Amino acid sequence: MSNRAYNFNAGPAALPLEVLEQAQQQFVDFNGAGMSIMEMSHRSKPYEQVNDQAQALMRKLYGIPDDYEVMFLQGGASTQFAMLPMNLLVPDRPAAYVLTGSWAQKAVKEAQLLGETVLAGSSEADKFNRIPKGAEINVPANAAYLHVTSNETIEGTQYMDYPEVPADVPLIADMSSDIMSRPVDISKFGVIYAGAQKNLGPSGVTIVIMRRDLLERCPKQVPTMLRYDTHAKNGSLYNTPPSFSVYMVQLVLQWIEARGGVEAIARINRDKTKLIYDAIDGSGGFYRGFASPESRSQMNITFRMQDEALEKQFIAESEAQGFVGLKGHRSVGGLRASTYNAVPHESCSALAAFMLDFQRRHG
Ligand SMILES: *Cc1c(COP(=O)(O)O)cnc(C)c1O
């Protein structure tokens, strides 16, 4: 296919072409069933297989231990901001948050509606251009949990190492924009959650990986659909799931497996982002990275130029050459290239070449 854009959208974002083509092949007639996967009962054998295989493949590729539940929920990561404190807050134990940017702020805001919170660390004084270092993060020993935002999608920062937590304090990570982009030691976490639409599939499904003992924390008055134990007990089939989205996630997971798994994906991602970070660092200040180098994200590359007029020109010229999604988020401004798993190496090398050429013409 020749008319695929160089897609750097922040989310929903690029999907692997191979996955789109496979879905297209199966779209009208799923494996000879005479109907699309969307037209089937979620209690049917073919759909149950999709659901089971997606969960099993995620466990295998991400190294998820047996004492963790994998759930496919709805409502996006934004619903998790509230569902987590609803289920996991404990009386007289504050929920601890590290404030690293726009998404962390939204997460803590929801917890504040529901109980006591405490800031364990913040980089707000530096305009969220970095992730606080381990020693800057102080978690009360009695915290109900510590919440971190693994990758700040808007600012373009990412944890290289996750903070240490006191023995009885589960670590919770919003990995919406970097799930399965690199290997992580799942056993260090109580909960990992992510909307699928950045690294794993289309919008509509939210992945929650939760250590099983935490399912028991949920207070009695929390409504059925907002309880993790409801979904865990029913294999994410308590009510009608977002079946097409889960099916697409299954295909993306198979695609990750075919590329050699999460470790191979991480290597490919590093090679991709190096092209663009090198274009920034080699520009003599023409392009200026927003994130402090030690906190640079492998998923969202944020940068600015000397003035907004030049940035506008950059966007206009890039769009004319087939690049999409390079405008920075309105809260930070400047430019942003989102280089999720499915963004091909070719898109990144084309962007690096465009940046060089743009600088030559306007520098
Ligand atoms: C996109 C994003 C969200 C919000 O996800 P929704 O699925 O739209 O609710 C939350 N956190 C991070 C880090 C994100 O990148």
In this predicted structure, the answer to whether residue 192 has a pLDDT above a threshold of 60 is yes
Q: Given CATH 3.40.640.10, say whether it is the number of domain 18-258.
A: yes
Q: Where do the structural domains in the chain lie, given as residue ranges? A: 18-258, 261-362
CA 193 to ligand 1 center in whole angstroms = 10
Q: Does ligand 1 lie within 6 Å of residue 157's CB atom?
A: no
pLDDT for the residue numbered 239: 98
Catalytic residue check, 127: no
3-state secondary structure of 241: coil
In this predicted structure, the answer to whether residue 1 has a pLDDT above a threshold of 80 is no
Q: Given CATH 3.30.930.10, say whether it is the number of domain 261-362.
A: no
pLDDT in tens, 2-55: 689 999 999 999 999 999 999 999 999 999 999 999 999 999 999 999 999 999
Neighbour-count burial for 153-169, b at 16+ CB within 10 Å, e otherwise: bbbbbbbeebbebeeeb
In the predicted model, what is the mean pLDDT of the chain? 97
CA 177 to ligand 1 center in whole angstroms = 7
Q: Across residues 135-164, what is the average pLDDT?
A: 98
Instruction: Report the candidate in 274, 259, 291, 341 with the shortest Cα–Cα distance to residue 128.
Output: 291
CA 291 to ligand 1 center in whole angstroms = 19
Neighbour-count burial for 209-229, b at 16+ CB within 10 Å, e otherwise: bbbeebbebbeeeeeeebbbb
Phi, psi of 302, deg, nearest 5: -110, 135
- Write out the DSSP string of 79-122: HHHHHHHHHH-BTTBPEEEEE-SHHHHHHHHHHHHHS-EEEEEE
Query: Residue with the nearest Cα to atom 2 of ligand 1?
Result: 176
- Band of residue 352 on the pLDDT scale cut at 50, 70, 90: very high
Instruction: Classify the phi-psi angles of 190: left when phi > 0, otherwise alpha if psi is within -120 to 50, otherwise beta.
Output: alpha
